[in-house]
Amino acid sequence: MPLPSFFMRDEPLISHSFWLRDHCHCPECYHSVTKQRLVNTFKIPRDIKPKSVTLSSTGLDVIWDHENHKSHYPYSWLNKHSYDPKITDPYLPEGAPKITWDNSIASNLPEVAYKDVMDSDKGLAEWLNNIHIYGFSFVSGVPVTTEATEELAKRISFIRETHYGGFWDFTSDLGHGDTAYTDLALGAHTDTTYFTDPVGLQMFHLLHHDGEGGHNLMVDGFHCAKILKERHPSSYKTLSEIGIPAHSAGDPSTHIIPSPRRNPILNHDPVTRDLVQVRFNNDDRSTMDHLEPEQIDAFYNALFDWNKVLTDEKNLLWTKFQPGRVLIFDNWRCLHGRSAFTGKRRMCGAYTNWDDYRSRWRTLNTSAEQLAEDL
């Protein structure tokens, strides 16, 4: 295990020693249960230096020149967090690589059995890994009840309450001021673009339909973004930069808009520049009153290029919901829609926060010790 090279310098740079002291995880400095810092960072002298540094069998032992404080840094921790030299890339994406898809996925839809999901963490992990990799998963064999569906949603985490309620059970009765509560066709969209934090997962379970239509549309937003970037790089850039105001104002005494007011359709990690979130619902897009006159053309050209990819048959996965078969998808990646329908159509489902989904996925796929070392 190489010593962090800043120790090898003649005079370790002040901040590097401070950095190490700041990250002491001894019981005095770091709460072993809550994983929170106890030490008062601002009482550590900025020019703190090691009085002695020794390599033990498990890690680096340091005695500091302030209060003779003793710190121990396991080699595995240093291997994970050392930045000089950088040994592990702190920005590596989590988990298995995502697999983007077009409608050819129809021949091999990610699906798990309700019983497996409910009976074991192994089954739950497989379900969440499907969502992690493909952005969606079906669950077969779900009892056709709201209770079983709600219980399934809660297998992941608590449900995200919104102005639509918590667990929703809806028909086309305009129960809420949104076209989802009608029998109209809905183009591919992501939900809640008007929230500062758009919902993470969305679950649908068709309980009953005695009419025609109501087919479900799924589109992989990450796949479409890739195509847009290849075919129309300037449009990709435009939709990554121009903010889109959005609103939900159909319910009495409800007027929801996000903060900041405008977020792009394609949102990227500020460091890796990886695409992390697609926010697109053209029906909920508010008035575009913030552009410079010369941006208007570029915006609509980019929007049309995006729509062309989004509506290319090749990218559309059409399925027909069946009672007993639940769909769940990542609302930050996958778009959904539906064809118009007739008759009585009763759906139920729920939202899950993105962070709560990722937390569940993480704790199912990584040991508590490993996760603790990541902090």
Ligand X SMILES: C[N+](C)(C)CCCC[C@H](N)C(=O)O
Residues at the interface with ligand X (CB under 6 A): 164, 168, 170, 178, 180, 189, 191-192, 281, 284
State which residue has the least CB distance to ligand AKG.
Answer: 180
Site for ligand AKG contains 183 (CB under 6 A): no
Give me the amino acid identity at 170. F
CA distance 88 to 76: 11
Q: Which is nearer to Fe ion, 150 or 191 (CB)?
A: 191
* Chain-centre distance for alpha carbon 122: 21
Q: What is the smallest separation between the CB atom of 257 and ligand X, expressed in angstroms?
A: 12
Q: Which of 336, 350, 354, 358 binds ligand AKG (CB under 6 A)?
A: 336
Q: Which of 186, 249, 256, 316 binds ligand AKG (CB under 6 A)?
A: 186
Q: Which of 338, 352, 358, 360 binds ligand AKG (CB under 6 A)?
A: 338
**Residue holding tokens 């009482």?**
43
Q: Which of 191, 284, 305, 330 binds Fe ion (CB under 5 A)?
A: 191
Residues in region 339-368 near ligand AKG by CB under 6 A: 347
Binding partner of 192, given ligand AKG, Fe ion, ligand X, none, CB within 5-8 angstroms per partner class:
ligand X
Q: What is the smallest separation between the CB atom of 244 and ligand X, expressed in angstroms?
A: 13
Q: Which residues pair with 220 in a beta bridge?
A: 334
x/- map, 190-209, ligand AKG, by CB under 6 A:
-x------------------
Q: Which is nearer to ligand X, 144 or 249 (CB)?
A: 249
Binding site for Fe ion (CB under 5 A): 191
Binding site for ligand AKG (CB under 6 A): 180, 186, 191, 216, 336, 338, 347
